[in-house]
Amino acid sequence: MRLGYLLLYVADVPKTVEFYERAFGLTRKMVHETGYAEMETGATTLGFVSHKAAEGLGMTYRKARREEPAPGVEVGLVTEDVAASYARAVEHGAEAVQAPEAKPWGQTVSYVRDLDGFLVEICSAAGV
């Protein structure tokens, strides 16, 4: 087994794709009219599924909403310049959660929330 996809169920797939492009500098791999999209993110694909598409498959789940506490999951995006990436994300509509902070294990970590309220960790590579 290997992790191939991380899929977030969101209210508006095209709007979410545009947000991730502006806020995090990611590039869309594909956006399909059925309510599904993928971003270029390396070995593991970050994808978005509309609530309507998920419900059409019989899925039941708690919808993430920005005005509610974040779900117990995060998207981790690794960058060489955490401070600049954090500032860019907030400038483009991400909700600031935690400003960049150096950790004892040599990593710099920050957190924002996306349009649907998912936590996004903006961090440097972990020093192992």
Query: Has residue 128 been placed in a domain?
Result: no
Residue positions counted in the chain:
128
- Could you tell me the residue range of the domain that residue 9 belongs to? 5-123
State the CB neighbour count (10 A cutoff) for residue 24: 22
In angstroms, how far is the first alpha carbon of the chain from the final one?
23
Cβ partners under 8 Å of residue 63, min gap 6: 9, 11, 51, 116
Cβ partners under 8 Å of residue 73, min gap 6: 118, 119
Segment 67-93 shows an average pLDDT of 97
Query: Has residue 90 been placed in a domain?
Result: yes
**How confident is residue 128, by pLDDT bands cut at 50, 70 and 90?**
low
Query: Has residue 61 been placed in a domain?
Result: yes
Number of domains in the chain: 1
Query: Has residue 68 been placed in a domain?
Result: yes
- Return the structure tokens found at 78: 């690794």
- Give the CATH number, domain containing residue 72: 3.10.180.10
Stated pTM of the model: 0.94
